[in-house]
Amino acid sequence: MSVATGEAWLAHGSDHAGSLRRPGTYCSVVGLRPSPGRVTRGTPNNLFAPLSVLGPMARNVADVALFLDTMAGWDPADPLTYDAPAESYAAAVAGAEAHRPRRIAFTADFNGALPVDRETRAICAAAVRRFEEAGCVVEEAAPDLGDLQEAFLVLRSQHFVVDRELQLASHRDLIKPDIIWNTERGLRETPSRLAWAERERAAFYRRMAALFARYDVFVTPGAATPAFDVMLRHPESVAGVKLENYMAASMLNAAITVAGCPAVAVPCGFDQHGRPIGLQIAAPPRREERALRAAALFERLSGLDKRLPVEPRAGAVPPVEGAG
């Protein structure tokens, strides 16, 4: 929100299942999840795990690219990192017109596999067609998710075991319920379940690679719903589907996480209540420049970056979506 209102020029944070992309979508700014290893994470205990990464947020794509240039590169303290690219991301974005994506895959909900707010689906489906004004081919296509939602929870829970097991044993009373739930879920998993989840991850990665063999970028909604009541931990339902846990509305983003892809959340419109909606533009692993160029092209076509910074205004919480 500080970026959206102009209080801050840039911000950065971590992204495991959309924590840069969903806030960007909710606040009508740009958030980038880089590929694992593009930006150092310092020295966490999960040094060899690719799920959680650090990345930038800003009011427009050019500023995100500029910030990424300062963050990218090899760090001897982080074994997943590698050298920054020869061409800066700022230069890549400046050349977006000359390197526009030829073919774009879009899905609103992974062929019905994920619940997504009805108005969000409609706004994003209309917005992605703006690429056709620049001569891009836009087609509906998505890889089969398989049982990725469950596999992601298994893999995510192991990340929490590494991070929080010792703290859970010594300071349980100071840890919030979501972290306890993730960690204890991980402690209950078996070696066989972990192996199954890794096989699911590998199979989904191969399906994503096949998609990128045909398309330059893969576009989805940036979040399953617009921003919801700040007093809620998560929406209770999406498109009429009751959510089983607080991560259930994150799979649009988590699927990209599991595949190791970079993804940019870029504003694409507003719902009937004035809440921002965004697109998530994903590219193959380590091809941040491709996602950023596509996002910059869309930004130029939509002109939504000109509506920032946002002037905060009073409003009422809209009714919870029911029928979807």
pLDDT digits (tens, 9 = 90+) for 1-19: 799 999 999 999 999 999 9
Q: What is the distance in angstroms between the CA of the first residue and the CA of the last residue of the chain?
A: 27
pLDDT at 320: 62
List, in order, residues 6 or more apart from 164 with CB less than 8 Å away: 175, 179, 182, 183
Q: What is the pLDDT of residues 242-274, one digit of tens each?
A: 998 888 899 999 999 999 999 999 999 999 999
Mean pLDDT over residues 59-65, rounded? Answer: 98
pLDDT at 151: 98
Q: What is the pLDDT of residues 182-235, one digit of tens each?
A: 999 999 999 999 999 999 999 999 999 999 999 999 999 999 999 998 878 888
Helix axes 148-171, 251-258, angle to 10 degrees: 90
Q: Please report, for residues 182, 193, 197, 264, the alpha-carbon distance to residue 200 in angstroms, rounded to integers and kept in the order given.
A: 19, 10, 5, 24
Q: What is the pLDDT of residues 103-124, one digit of tens each?
A: 999 999 999 999 999 999 999 9
Helix axes 177-188, 148-171, angle to 10 degrees: 110
Statement: residue 312 has pLDDT above 90? no
Task: Give the pLDDT band (50/70/90) at residue 317.
Answer: confident
3-state secondary structure of 211: helix
User: In terms of CATH, what superfamily is 10-134+217-307?
Assistant: Amidase signature (AS) domain (3.90.1300.10)
Statement: residue 316 has pLDDT above 90? no
Instruction: Fill in the DSSP letter of residue 303.
Output: -
Query: pTM for the full model?
Result: 0.95
pLDDT at 322: 47
pLDDT at 287: 98
Q: Calculate what percentage of the chain has a pLDDT beyond 90.
A: 88
Statement: residue 72 has pLDDT above 80? yes
pLDDT at 324: 45
pLDDT at 321: 54
More confident residue, 211 or 306: 211
Query: Mean pLDDT, the chain, as a whole number?
Result: 94
Among the ranges given (57-61, 91-95, 238-242, 278-282), the one the predictor scored with the smallest mean pLDDT = 238-242
